Amino acid sequence: MEHTRYRGRFAPSPTGPLHFGSLVTAVATWLEARAAGGDWLVRIEDLDPLREPPEASHQILHSLDAHGLHPDEPVRFQSQRQAAYQKAIINLLESGKAYRCSCSRKQLQAHGGRHPAKCRERDSLSDQAPQAIRFALTDEHSHWQDLLLGPQQQTVRAELDDPVLQRKEGFYAYQLAVAVDDIDQGISHVVRGSDLLDMTAQQQQIFRALGSSPPQWLHIPVILNEQGQKLSKQNHAPALDDTKPAMNLVHALAALGQQPPSELAWASVADVLSWARAHWRRAAIPLTSRQARGITPSTQSHLDH
């Protein structure tokens, strides 16, 4: 599929309220779309109800609204897209680009990643054990151009690296849903954290198997806490203080290397975003997490006075 208009998106998983690291990604995706005169969408990746507090989606959308980050189209919820994902799985199974797998993680580890049940070689599995659906990768030494990091290359190995598309419990996996929705929404550019860089080659094969060209990629550094860990709910990242949106945005811009003037922290949200649009420089984004000069919530309080 040829993309004639820039279409980007911010797609958080609602495992908790928005934290500073997520805000940095949201701001980067928004500014890239605005700089290109394109569209900016929000997609809630609510595929795993076991990990998603019921209030989290509302909290995330409230935070985005408080920070002036308004999508150009209605918010999409992946929990409402089950039929599209199932249709994609059926098409991939019928075309031989996906297969049913009953192997446990422990079994795969014990066999060096190979499938003891020979899952890829069988048309169907007769046993009644729970079955996942995996994508059938082909051996590839993949090359692409990252819009920030430059030339990239990854090697993917058939069978050993085959990603799960649908888990044994029936939940659709990120690798499938993100490709189906990016294609359906015409996403031309994906701006995301560099922690997802390693799965890019796999995802490009999935896009092609679904009959579409992959989007262009831009991987920004993840924000680290004082222990050098990625800011995340798993690492107990605190929620954003939505009563200080301008200050949060200024810190996010600093993390993205944009050097906002300190007085912007006391300006309106509209003024901060206006400055950001006028001064956005993709080339200023740090290449690594340790170069990011942003202020994490743990070090923010003494700067707010």
> For the segment 240-278, what is each residue's pLDDT rounded down to a tens digit?
999 999 999 999 999 999 999 989 999 999 999 999 999
Lowest mean pLDDT among 14-28, 209-223, 281-295: 281-295
What pLDDT does 238 receive? 78
Lowest mean pLDDT among 40-54, 141-155, 192-206, 209-223: 40-54
Q: What value does the mean pLDDT of the chain take?
A: 89
- Share above pLDDT 70 across residues of the chain, in percent, rounded to a whole number: 87
Could you tell me the CA-to-CA distances from 270 to 144, 160, 245, 255, 282 in Å, in that order? 36, 49, 10, 19, 21
- Which residues are CB-neighbours of 46 under 8 A, at least 6 positions away? 13, 14, 52, 57, 77, 78, 79
Q: Is the backbone of residue 259 left (phi > 0), alpha (psi -120 to 50) or beta? A: left
Which pLDDT tens digit goes with each residue over 138-163?
999 999 999 999 999 999 999 999 99
pLDDT at 303 over 50: no
Task: Report how far residue 107's alpha carbon sits from residue 105's, in angstroms, rounded to the nearest whole number.
Answer: 5
Better-scored residue on pLDDT, 160 or 293: 160
| 3-32 average pLDDT score | 93
Q: What's the pLDDT band for 223 if we cut at 50, 70, 90? A: confident
Tell me if residue 100 falls in helix, strand or coil.
strand
Could you tell me the CA-to-CA distances from 209 to 137, 190, 199, 212, 239 in Å, in that order? 10, 19, 16, 7, 38
pLDDT at 130 over 50: yes
Tell me if residue 85 falls in helix, strand or coil.
helix
Better-scored residue on pLDDT, 229 or 81: 81
Task: Report how far residue 28's alpha carbon sits from residue 191's, in angstroms, rounded to the nearest whole number.
Answer: 7
Q: Report how far Cα 258 is from the mean position of its chain's Cα atoms.
A: 22
Q: What's the pLDDT band for 30 if we cut at 50, 70, 90? A: very high
- In order of their start, the domains of the chain are 7-77+221-303 (3.40.50.620), 82-217 (3.40.50.620)
What pLDDT does 26 receive? 98
Which pLDDT tens digit goes with each residue over 63-99?
999 999 999 999 999 999 999 999 999 999 999 999 9
What pLDDT does 50 receive? 82
Residue 133: half-sphere exposure toward Cβ, Cα within 13 Å: 22
What pLDDT does 75 receive? 98
Could you tell me the CA-to-CA distances from 12 to 65, 111, 185, 224, 297 in Å, in that order? 14, 35, 16, 18, 19
